[in-house]
Structure 1
Amino acid sequence: MLRKTLCTVALATSLAPAMVMAAPASQQEATQNLVKQLSDLKSLTADFEQTTKVNSNKTAPQKKGLTTQHLNQTFKGVMKVERPGKFFWETSSPSKQTIVTTGKTVWIYDPDLQQAVRQSMSDQVANTPALLLSGNTNQIMQSYKVTQPDRSKTYYTLTPKSNDSAFQNLTLSFGANSTPTLMILNDSLGQTTTVRFSNAIKNASIPASTFNFTPPKGTDIVDQ
């Protein structure tokens, strides 16, 4: 069940008109532009819709990804982020699941299974790129190569520098007021995950209790 809410990233915004070549930014310029977008983001709340599809010539993975029954479904919920390192992601439909962290430990709670998975932040970031929104900008830039296909548009593609990453690339698109609107992730197993954000509120006050998680009594705790 943890797999169904792996929040991840890459973008599809409007392309330049036909016959007009978009001018890409240099890697240094793209990195600087993304840093500026993220640096202005102190906190964020937003609703999300997430869908994952698998390429027809690939076999749906059975670990570190979504099982076949979760593919082509749309999961809805709410995300709350406060930098640095605080992240809350709760799926409400078609079933409930919560991912929450204050920086070092990530909890994934599934009330239907009465189970809470506990992981280190470093391990979970590889599988949940949406956590990048709550991370340290310098660390992000050290871990990813950044490109900006069209310097006039605020979308960026991040490619992991590590060869053992769980995904091949992700793209992040920003809308008005530098709020994220879309993330699309392509992983190494043929899955594409699209996350669309709506009703985003930038730099709103978020109660500290949002990011505190205590497993309910009777919950089975699994360390990974």
Structure 2
Amino acid sequence: MRFVSMLLLPVLAMSSLAAHAGEQDVKRLGQLLGQSNTITARFSQLTLDGSGTQLQETTGDMSVKRPGLFYWHTDAPQEQTMISDGKKVTLWDPDLEQATIKKLDERLTQTPALLLSGDVSKIEQSYDVSSKTQGEVMEFILKPKTKDTLFDSLRLSFRKGNISEMQLIDSVGQRTNILFNEVKVDKEIPESKFKFVVPKGADVIQE
């Protein structure tokens, strides 16, 4: 299954100074993620293996609406659509004519894609967060607190306050870079965008 499906899916005590810095990073990230009710954007996605060899390159568009509504569409020839209606996540593969439907449980709400539309107050529960600023770009590094994840680190970059890039690195060094452009915030998005009707005759997998 292509990368879009990956989007579905304890440490030692630190000094008080470092802990305080981490709290400030979490607060700032929460402010940036929570400042907009909706986000729409085009994206380009590049996946490299541990040696830097290109595995896949795709483009597409995404829309998010808080809380929990998410739409992610990858353009042909590797077309897929992932939609969250706040209760379940549907992954549609038109080539296979197959819809995979998952309940939106706690584990799924912590995955990278749904982080953009989820409950920002839960970030500190799921990730250790650090940040740095370079000019007009602010970067946040998120490291999962549990081992039950498909990535070792997640970098979120914001330019002038808007999401601009996401990078995931997994346990074998595979990297996926996602660049966002044409970003628009607080644009009206119809509720129908986040509802998926399974085409007649398609295979349905309930997980």
TM bin, normalised by shorter chain, reads 0.7 to 0.9
Other-structure match for 2:44 = 49
- Please state if 1:119 is matched with 2:114: no
Q: Give 1:151 deviation, angstroms.
A: 8.2
Equivalent residue number for residue 130 of structure 1: 113
The answer to whether residue 70 in structure 2 is matched with residue 75 in structure 1 is no
Residues 166-206 of structure 1, C-alpha deviations (whole Å, 9 max, x = no match): 21110101112x21100000112321110000001011100
Correspondence 1:39-188 to 2 at 5 A = 39-56=34-51, 72-122=55-105, 123-125=107-109, 128-150=111-133, 153-176=137-160, 178-188=161-171
Q: Comparing 188-197 with 107-116, which one deviates more in the overlay?
A: 188-197
Structure 1 spans left out of the alignment, 5+ residues = 9-24, 58-67
Larger proportion of strand: 2
Q: Deviations over 1:39-61 (max 9, x none)?
A: 2021000000111111139xxxx
Q: Alpha-carbon deviations, 1:48-79, whole Å to 9, x = none?
A: 0111111139xxxxxxxxxx9xx522111100
Provide the secondary structure at the position in 2 that maps to 1:29. helix
Which AA in structure 2 matches 1:49? S
Question: 2:186 maps to which residue?
Answer: 203
Asked whether the 8 Å contact 1:7–1:50 carries over to 2, the reply is no
CA distance in 1, matches of 2:41, 2:50: 29
Q: Find the aligned partners of 1:159 and 1:37 in 2 and give their Cα distance.
A: 18
TM-score (norm 1): 0.79
- Counterpart in the other structure of 1:4: 3
Aligned residues: 193
TM-score, normalized by length of structure 2? 0.85
Which structure would you say has the larger RCO, counting Cα contacts within 8 Å and 6 or more residues apart? 1
What CA RMSD, in Å, does the superposition of the two structures yield over aligned residues?
A: 2.2
Other structure's SS at 1:72 match: strand
1:136 offset after TM fit, Å? 0.2
Q: CA deviation at 1:36?
A: 1.1
Partner amino acid for 2:152? Q
In the aligned structure 2, how far is the partner of 1:84 from the partner of 1:196? Answer: 23
